[in-house]
Amino acid sequence: MAKDKKKQLDVIYGIHSICELLKAKRRKLVTLYTTKIPPKGWKSIQKIGIPKLTNLQYVSREFLAKFSGTTDHQGVVGLAQQFVFRKSFFDSKKSQFVLLLDGIQDPRNLGAILRSAYCTGVDGVIITKKHSAPITGAALKASAGLAEHLDIYQAPSSLSALQELGKQNYNVYLAALSSRANNAIEVTYKMPLCIVIGNEAQGISKSLFSFGTVVQLPQKTSDVSYNASVAAGILLFTIATYSSKI
């Protein structure tokens, strides 16, 4: 019975993940596990306030590591209601700055990108149901918990997402290494827009290039490329400052 209950809940860990979940108030923290000797950062959680209905349990660090599947839990692990995704697609009149992640598979890369998205004022994020890392405890921790505040929509595929973006009259910019790519620093970005970041290994499929303007960051040589999360951070910052989002 306990195992079935756990499957229906998300395991999250780390001080920032717990804090931002409590701040966002989008989903319920069902159980919070910590150690009898308070870990560093526990006061941050107490300052926000642990809901009265949350089941607080004191356990060993070994239990926390086994339960969360990592030693990187910072002394706190939570069981929360499943992550809340946006139910409807974005409206270009209300969400001017959107990010589409095309097959990001490393949860830490996903989390780092979501953190940058929050910091640069992105209005919404689109991830795909297939071939993408789910929003797990690892992704949430890598986002410093900031994913809890983002509007995230799950599309069936990148193709279907791009088709919907076209219907909403978004200007689409696809980040890719290509001979036909424009210098991302020199492009004039037009709102409403969506920037597309591709898979860590293969990048964006060339079959999707026809949906928008292909851009790439300047780099020293063409035989290597930026890490996906690093490239995303630079591009999001570039667009945000250009459009006065930050």
Q: What is the CATH number of the domain that holds 43?
A: 3.30.1330.30
Domain CATH code at residue 150: 3.40.1280.10
- How far apart CA 182 and CA 31 sit, in angstroms, is 49
Answer whether the bond into residue 134 is a cis peptide, omega within 30°: no
Q: Which two tokens stand for residue 239?
A: 């667009």
Residue 56 domain flag? yes
Residues 116, 207, single domain; the answer is yes
Are 175 and 195 spatial neighbours (Cβ–Cβ below 8 Å)? yes
Q: Do the domain assignments include residue 146?
A: yes
User: pLDDT (tens digit, 9 = 90+) per residue, 141-153?
Assistant: 999 999 999 999 9
What pLDDT is attached to residue 1? 41
Whether residues 122 and 219 fall in one domain: yes
Q: Is 181 helix (H, G, I), strand (E, B) or coil?
A: coil
Are residues 140 and 226 both part of a single domain? yes
Q: What is the pLDDT, as a whole number, of residue 223?
A: 65
**Residue 229, domain member (yes or no):** yes
- Let me know if residue 142 belongs to a domain: yes
Angle between helices 107-119 and 228-242 (to 10 degrees): 10
3-state secondary structure of 31: strand
Same domain, 141 and 204: yes
Pair 10, 110 in one domain:
no
Q: Specify the number of domains making up the chain.
A: 2
pLDDT at 199 (0 to 100): 87
The dihedral sign for the CA sequence 164, 82, 245, 127: negative
Instruction: Please tell me whether residues 63 and 178 are part of one structural domain.
Output: no
Asked, for residue 90, whether it belongs to a domain, the answer is no
- Supply the range of the domain harboring residue 15: 2-81
Whether 86 is covered by a domain: the verdict is no
20 lies in the same domain as 70: yes
Q: What pLDDT does 7 receive?
A: 59
Residue 55 lies in a domain: yes
Q: Which residues of the chain have pLDDT under 70?
A: 1-7, 222-223, 245-246
Same domain, 102 and 177: yes
Last residue of a domain, one of 34, 56, 81: 81
- Examine residue 89 and state whether it is found in any structural domain, yes or no: no
Same domain, 40 and 106: no
**Per-residue confidence (pLDDT) for residue 76, from 0 to 100:** 98
The H-assigned helical ranges of 120-201 are 137-142, 158-167
